[in-house]
């Protein structure tokens, strides 16, 4: 029982990280039908930038808004260089362009911060708390609430503010949104900024729990992509459920079978969802172009 709880708790923390990155994929898909395949690199870049910023500010919490700005600028750059030119000529060039930009960022990060993994100082105690017999790190709790908090904040913005409504309108019908006087190109830039901000935020959330390095985002970005497909590219609830499913099955497989097979159930799940319900467990429209 205690082992089972331990698996659930660890799975939830990992799963929420997947969920929040997957949420980032959804943001750009909603407004533009495109995905930022360099989300994993945005995450790593955010974590590494966060590490350097913490060294200057000596405060993890003050670092977070700064990293968010860095992440947002990263997203603006990806949109300008990789996505807008492709959208203009209605091509699928954004796929290769965002992957290529991610590789460049990865290389730049390696040159700035080196190839070795770095230790990210934990802002909270690293002594586990005992919850119902399972050991939970305080940072894991912060991860869960941080991820949920960010998604909730975006959701509230979309529902309550006129700018958020403009984003929803652009997602629903870009031409009609333009007729309302909404600058839909700007909305797409904004969604890229928000999406990469989300990834950078996920980076500094997960960094104290893992090692920090230029390559830390590759597997996370890919798995979060699987979560976005499993949960559905249009459903906020879907990515949370998808993230939790993947996080928990991974942790369970790692414990009961072998850590070497940890990634297998998620991929099987992904293949099953694609075969049976391509729109994702909660999605309405199937991903067509990717």
CB of 158 to another protein, least distance (A): 10
Its sign, for the CA torsion 221, 226, 230, 235, is: positive
Beta-bridge partner residues of 135: 130
User: In a 10 Å sphere around its CB, with 0-12 CB exposed, 13-18 middle and 19+ buried, how is residue 289 labelled?
Assistant: exposed
> From the CB of residue 153, how many other CB atoms can be counted at a distance below 10 Å?
10
Contact of 75 with 183, CB cutoff 8 Å: no
Q: How far apart are CA 168 and CA 63, in angstroms?
A: 30
Beta-bridge partner residues of 118: 212
Can you give the length of the chain in residues? 290
First to last CA, the chain: 42
Q: Indicate the residue among 138 and 178 with the shorter CB distance to another protein.
A: 178
What is the total count of residues that contact another protein (CB under 8 A)? 20
Could you give the string, one character per residue 88-117, with x where binding to another protein holds by CB under 8 A and - elsewhere? ------------------------------
Contact of 207 with 51, CB cutoff 8 Å: yes
40, two tokens: 């994993």
Q: Indicate the residue among 14 and 30 with the shorter CB distance to another protein.
A: 30
CB of 261 to another protein, least distance (A): 40
CB of 166 to another protein, least distance (A): 6
Chain positions 154 to 213 lying near another protein, rule: CB under 8 A, are 162-163, 165-166, 168-169, 171-173, 175-185
Could you give the string, one character per residue 114-153, with x where binding to another protein holds by CB under 8 A and - elsewhere? ----------------------------------------
Nearest residue to 223 via CA among 264, 276, 193 = 264
Q: Indicate the residue among 134 and 182 with the shorter CB distance to another protein.
A: 182
CB of 23 to another protein, least distance (A): 17
CB of 185 to another protein, least distance (A): 8
Q: Indicate the residue among 234 and 253 with the shorter CB distance to another protein.
A: 234
CB of 184 to another protein, least distance (A): 7
Q: Indicate the residue among 196 and 234 with the shorter CB distance to another protein.
A: 234
Q: Indicate the residue among 49 and 188 with the shorter CB distance to another protein.
A: 188
Q: How far apart are CA 10 and CA 48, in angstroms?
A: 24
148, two tokens: 């949920």
Chain positions 15 to 74 lying near another protein, rule: CB under 8 A, are none
Q: Which residues bind another protein (CB under 8 A)?
A: 162-163, 165-166, 168-169, 171-173, 175-185
């Amino acid at each position: 029982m205690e082992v089972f709880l331990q698996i659930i708790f660890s799975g939830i923390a990992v799963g929420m990280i997947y969920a929040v990155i997957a949420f980032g994929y959804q943001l750009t898909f909603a407004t533009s039908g495109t995905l930022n395949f360099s989300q994993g690199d945005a995450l790593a870049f955010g974590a590494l930038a966060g590490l350097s910023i913490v060294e200057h500010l000596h405060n993890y919490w003050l670092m977070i808004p700064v990293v968010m700005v860095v992440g947002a600028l990263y997203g603006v750059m990806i949109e300008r260089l990789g996505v807008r030119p492709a959208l203009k000529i209605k091509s699928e060039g954004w796929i290769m362009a965002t992957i290529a930009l991610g590789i460049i960022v990865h290389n730049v990060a390696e040159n700035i911060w080196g190839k070795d993994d770095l230790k990210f100082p934990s802002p909270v105690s690293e002594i586990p708390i005992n919850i119902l017999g399972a050991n939970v790190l305080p940072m894991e709790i912060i991860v869960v609430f941080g991820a949920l908090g960010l998604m909730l904040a975006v959701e509230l913005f979309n529902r309550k503010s006129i700018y958020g409504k403009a984003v929803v309108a652009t997602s629903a019908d870009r031409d009609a949104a333009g007729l309302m006087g909404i600058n839909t190109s700007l909305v797409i830039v904004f969604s890229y900024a928000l999406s990469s901000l989300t990834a950078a935020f996920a980076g500094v959330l997960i960094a104290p729990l893992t090692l920090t390095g230029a390559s830390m985002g590759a597997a996370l970005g890919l798995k979060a992509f699987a979560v976005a497909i499993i949960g559905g590219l249009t459903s906020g609830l879907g990515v949370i459920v998808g993230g939790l499913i993947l996080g928990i099955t991974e942790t369970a497989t790692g414990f009961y079978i072998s850590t070497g097979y940890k990634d297998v159930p998620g991929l099987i799940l992904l293949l099953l969802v694609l075969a049976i319900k391509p729109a994702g467990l909660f999605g309405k429209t199937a991903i067509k172009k990717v």
